[in-house]
Amino acid sequence: MYRQHSNHLKGGRDMGTNTPECSKELTAVPCTVLRGGTSKGVFLPEEVVPEEKTEREKFLLALMGSPDPRQIDGLGGADLLTTKVAIIGKPSRDDADLDYTFAQVGITQAKVHFDMNCGNISSAVGVYAVEKGLVPLEEPYTTVRIHNRNTQTILLAKVPVGDGHARVDGEWAIDGVPGTGAAISLDFRLTAGGATGSLLPTGHVYDVVDVPELGAVTVSVVDIANLCFVVQAEHVGLKSEDIPRTPGPELLFRMDRLQRAVAHLLGISEGQLTPIPIIVAPPHDFRTLTDQPFESDAVDIVSEVIGGQPLTLHKAFPGTASVTLAVASRIPGTIAYEMARQNGAKSVRIGHPSGRMDVDAMVSIENARIQVLQASYQRTARLIMDGITYLRSARL
């Protein structure tokens, strides 16, 4: 519980004012740091973040200390998983409790991406809402209706609550996070087609794109939680048993060219975080980045995500990409379906660089119309810090 923080968190402090005095060369900004799943992010009230695009990007780069490979002069963690920002505001839709905008801040590039959501950080949005008193509390669970402005969709977070706070301790374990915690359920079934208007944006379960460096490559483009594409390991020059692994420069180059080709197929701008590349292989024995062994019987599909700008290995597995992959695994004809073990279970067990992630997925197909009935998983999240950060005023 956050008992020792309760007065500070819910004591009515105006998040945009009453900050301590400091040098004119520094700007005081109230912020909160939370871990959500296998990611960590800085949470900001919308009213303290500039509205104008250029000023907003300057603000977020200064906040994280970018561009700098160590991000030594800001709150960034010098890693794709820890250079994330959640901007929280009042709901702009009647069917939501709050608005949430996700920002992936560049580390070595002076660039901020808003073209995707982060499923792991989304799990912490519910905790933030509970701790900041943004929703009426119900025990033992409070459901938070989150309007993600990046995808213009609603996702539901079911947060365990006790004694007026989001629960911390529990038995749920996540590969890539030490210990266990209270399980938060995230439901993404309402996010299908958020980026493109369709679960299958091209109208096909798979497409063939021509990549000069690779030749003809078969991909499945799926839009739920985030816009992603799935590609078989062999089609990007790997053997199935090669993943998950840390990619070398040649694979990163090939994946960059493939991502650009898929973006061209979809008619969207290159150089964005989406479409997110998901590499897959059939179930096989593998070892994680920390050398933990997994046997093929423990997973239904093995995968890794090459994301970010510049592209790099996602050391765990993005929550939104896990939803996309699990749902794709339920649609006959997709690459994910062909690679995954079809055992009739409600969960798709995804083997990834940090271990395994289970996602409940179910679709119905009638007259070629696909409806997503279930797309959910469980994460843990907790408050790490609540207070004031100081930005260099000259950078703003």
H or E stretch including 155? strand 153-162
Chain-centre distance for alpha carbon 362: 21
What is the SS3 assignment for 249?
helix
Mean pLDDT calculated for residue range 220-228: 97
Tell me the pLDDT band of 315, cut-offs 50, 70 and 90.
very high
- pLDDT score, position 6: 36
pLDDT one-digit tens code per residue, 40-95: 999 999 999 999 999 999 999 999 999 999 999 999 999 999 999 999 999 999 99
Q: What is the pLDDT of residue 12?
A: 36
pLDDT higher at 8 or 252: 252
State pLDDT tens for residues 1-12: 323 333 334 433
Which residues have C-beta within 8 Å of that of residue 325, sequence separation ≥ 6? 228, 230, 278, 280, 301, 303, 336, 348, 350, 359
Summarize the confidence of residues 353-380 as an average pLDDT: 96
* pLDDT-derived band at 309, boundaries 50, 70, 90: confident
Evaluate whether 255 touches 229 at the Cβ level (below 8 Å).
Answer: no
What DSSP assignment string belongs to 168-229?
---SEE-TTSSSEE--EEEE-GGGTTTTTSSSSTTSSS-EEEEETTTEEEEEEEEEESEEEE
